[in-house]
Structure 1
C-alpha cells in the first residue's frame, strides 16, 4: 500500500482498532414531572470502534484506604465522530475498562483523530 491514499490508510488504521468507546456528554435535561431542568450525563455515542494507548507510565499514590494508580491515555478514533471537550468516555479493550474524560481538543488527521484522556477514578 503506497502512502498518499487516504482511504487505504484509514482502512489500515481502523483495522487495528480493538476497543469500543461509549461517550457521555453533560446536557440540560428537563424532568417531565417537576419541569425542572438539570444537567445529566447523556449517551451520545455507543460501541464506536477505537484504540486506546497509554501515554504516560502510571503514577502510584498511596492513600489511607488503598493505593491508587492513574494514568493518561490517548484515544484513536474515526475523524467522522465529534466528541466535545469534557465528555466522559468509557473504552472497553483487551478485557479492561478505562473510564476517562477528554482533556482538550481532538487532533484530527484525514485518517483518524487523537484525543488525550485523563483517567476518572470512581466514575
Structure 2
C-alpha cells in the first residue's frame, strides 16, 4: 500500500522516463559476450527539475552559468551509473545520463543528471 506522503510526492510527477543501460550480454548459443543496450524500465512516472546557478571567479572574469538537472522517481527503481535516461515532461523529450549516487529517501529518490553525450 502506498502511504499518503508517497502519494502526495508522486502527485507532483509530470513526466515519464525510460532507463537504458549498456550491459554485457552472453549469447546462450554461441557463448559470445557482447555489449548491448538493455531497457531497465519504460514510462516510469517521474519529475524533472532544473536549477540555474551562477558563479563568478576571483579573477573578475565573466560569470559562469551552469545548470543542475535533478530527476525524482520511486525509491525502489535501480538506475545504474552511466545509464541513458530518456525523460518526457511537458511535451518535451530529452536524453540524460546519471551522474553520481542517487539520494534515496523513504518515499522517493533524487538522481542528478547530465546531458547525454555517449555511454561512459
**TM-score, length of structure 1 as denominator length:** 0.75
Is 1:10 aligned to residue 20 of structure 2?
Answer: no
Question: Which range moved further: 33-42 or 107-116?
Answer: 33-42
Alpha-carbon offset, residue 28 of structure 1: 0.9
Paired position in structure 2 for 1:91: 87
Alpha-carbon offset, residue 31 of structure 1: 4.6
CA distance in 2, matches of 1:97, 1:53: 14
Paired position in structure 1 for 2:62: none
Alpha-carbon offset, residue 82 of structure 1: 1.1
Query: What is the SS of the residue equivalent to 1:55?
Result: strand
Paired position in structure 2 for 1:24: 20
Alpha-carbon offset, residue 34 of structure 1: 5.9
**Structure 2 spans left out of the alignment, 5+ residues:** 54-65
The verdict on how the C-alpha distance between 1:55 and 1:41 changes in structure 2, with shifts beyond 3 A counting, is farther
CA distance in 2, matches of 1:33, 1:72: 45
Match of 2:105 among 102, 109, 115: 109
Query: What is the SS of the residue equivalent to 2:8?
Result: helix
The correspondence of residues 50-65 of structure 1 with structure 2, limited to 5 A, is 50-56=46-52
**TM-score, length of structure 2 as denominator length:** 0.77
Alpha-carbon offset, residue 72 of structure 1: 3.8
When the two structures are aligned, how many residues end up with a matched partner?
107
